[in-house]
Amino acid sequence: MIDSLLETANVRVIGEGLDHLRYLRELTLESNVMGGMVHDAKIAAICKAHGVSELWTCDRDYSRFPDLKTCNPCEPGYVRKQH
């Protein structure tokens, strides 16, 4: 299944880049993140570095990062917006 996903033309794998620690530092300081929230900040930093503007998640903790819009596709009545 993962191989099929990776072969899809519009899928791009992202991860930590050279500027990751800069973004992580900014987010942890701006949002007063500590402990287990650092993992969320790490994901938000990766998204920020790669220009991701919307994260699909059921985790409400990402509201700490106002530059990253979240969308919960598990909510009743969710309809995916066409881009």
**pLDDT of amino acid 83:** 53
Cα gap 46→32, rounded to integer Å: 18
**Averaged pLDDT score across all residues of the chain:** 88
What is the reported pTM? 0.78
Strand partners, 69: 54
**pLDDT tens figures, 46-74:** 999 999 989 999 998 898 898 899 988 88
- Which is more confidently placed, 36 or 81? 36
Q: pLDDT-based confidence at 81, cuts 50/70/90?
A: low
What are the sequence ranges of the domains in the chain? Answer: 14-71
Q: How would DSSP label each residue in 19-75?
A: THHHHHHHHHHHTT--TTHHHHHHHHHHHHHTT--EEE-S-GGGGG-TTSEEE-TTS
- C-alpha dist (Å) from residue 64 to 3, 4, 78: 33, 33, 22
**pLDDT of amino acid 82:** 57
Residue 24 has pLDDT above 80, yes or no: yes
